[in-house]
Structure 1
Amino acid sequence: MPNILAIGFDPHTIPGFDPAPVAAGIEQASRAFAELGLTEDLFLVDFAELDGRAQAKLVEKLESRQYDCVLIGGGIRKGPGLLELFQLVVNEVHWRQPQAAIAFNESPGDSPDWVLKALEQKRNR
């Protein structure tokens, strides 16, 4: 059973943001992962911890077990002013999980599709 780590923002911690649609998408993706037989760990970054605390927690999570695929959510990639965080996340995943496939999504709802594609690419290497 493949182990998946999904990294994204905790939508409840983003100032001035309606968390409901993203939270529902995260729940939907988690159910889909389970239905596909994928074991998902969810790592949600608290928007208030972008001062370095998030990196320490991410490193701890990445070192806690081996993952077959790490999904980096769209909020971390696409948010304005978040390029440094995105680079940090990609590098930490690369350094601490070198055997894991890396997937990106458009929204939480399409996460399982992108994870399956990344796992397929990994198998076909």
Structure 2
Amino acid sequence: MPSVLVVGYEPAAATGLIPGVDPDAIRAGVDEQLARFAERGIDAALATVVADGTAEPALVAALTERPWDVVVVGAGIRKTDALVPLFEQALALIHRHAPQAAVAFNTFPGDTVEAALRRL
């Protein structure tokens, strides 16, 4: 069974940091995508982080939980200028702790499955 880890910015912490974010809509979109992964027989999990000292240990724990086929890095982390250091950190940690995983990027929560499928 293929496995996908989705790494995203914690929706509740994104208010004010990511313009126009609706934490409830983000969470609903992510939950919908996790259900779509399950429908396709893909084992998927979510790891959310915030830009503080907890990001690295949270990412390392998620990345080393099992061998992932794909790690999808969410658009909130990738497209937000203030989060460039977190984006760089995430990529470095993926490279170090899940070198077998392909890396994919979504453009919003609703295309997370498609992003992963491009790399599976």
Instruction: Please confirm whether the aligned pair reaches a TM-score higher than 0.5, indicating the same fold.
Output: yes
Q: Which has the larger radius of gyration?
A: 1
Distance in structure 2 (CA, Å) of the matches to 1:57 and 1:78? 21
Query: Deviations along 1:71-120, whole A, 9 cap, x unmatched?
Result: 0000010112111110100110011111111110001110101101111x
What CA distance in whole angstroms lies between the structure 1 residues aligned with 2:79 and 2:87? 9
The reply to whether residue 85 of structure 1 matches residue 86 of structure 2 is yes
Corresponding residue for residue 14 of structure 2? 14
Sequence identity percentage: 40
- The alignment's C-alpha RMSD in Å is 1.2
Q: Does residue 5 in structure 1 map to residue 23 in structure 2? A: no
Q: How far 1:8 sits from its partner (Å)?
A: 0.0
Report if the CA contact (8 A) 2:15-2:23 is conserved.
Answer: no
Q: Which moved more, 1:21-30 or 1:9-18?
A: 9-18
Q: Name stretches of at least 5 consecutive residues in structure 1 with no aligned partner.
A: 120-125
- Which residue number in structure 1 is paired with residue 98 of structure 2? 97
Q: TM-score, normalised by structure 1?
A: 0.87
By how many angstroms is 1:13 displaced? Answer: 2.3
